[in-house]
Amino acid sequence: MMNKEKHALKVAVVAVLTAVVVVFTLVVRIPTTKGYLNLCDVAICFIAFTFGPVSAFLAAGLGTAIADLISGYAQWAPISFIVHGIEGLLIALIVRKQPLSKMRILLAAIGCVLTVSLGYFVLSALFISTVAVAAAEIPPNMIQAGVGVVFGLALSKAIKRAYPPVSALSW
């Protein structure tokens, strides 16, 4: 495959992964004080563990922002883009070296939980709500991110086992 074809394939993969993040974000929504909990972190962690930092940053940021726009939470779109984009990028950078060690998985999980919970806390307190309301969202965001790591990693391992060439799509 020529370089242009490989690049086009990777762009197409990111577009599909962005749509996957949108779907995972919108399919299950549990209302909270100022937003909702969802399964976006499952998709984001799966992408980060499977497709690399560029794909994870773009799909996570764009997918969650688009989901916010579609679902009537437009004020959250920039925050979701930043927080989840950084989440995907960070996880992918931590787990990039193969074979994957338990220590890197643990560091990725900690990075994921801290990025999501603290990112939403800080940005929400600054731009959308009060510190008290933003603080109330920390525990549910930690749970959402933790669930995302567990199921995202399991999904990544299953996909890599079933279709090993998927690793060539990393970007």
pLDDT, tens only, 120-136: 999 999 999 999 999 99
Ordered domains of the chain (ranges, CATH): 3-165 (1.10.1760.20)
With tokens 């937003």, the residue in question is 35
pLDDT score recorded for residue 98: 75
d(CA 13, CA 119): 27
Burial of 42 from C-beta contacts in 10 A (0-12 / 13-18 / 19+): buried
0.85 exceeded by the pTM?
yes
DSSP for 54-89, please give it: HHHHHHHHHHHHHHHHHTT-GGGHHHHHHHHHHHHH
pLDDT, tens only, 39-50: 999 999 999 999
Q: What percent of the chain has pLDDT over 70?
A: 98
* Nearest Cα residue to 62 out of 47, 49, 112: 47
* Nearest Cα residue to 119 out of 147, 150, 85: 85
pLDDT score recorded for residue 2: 66
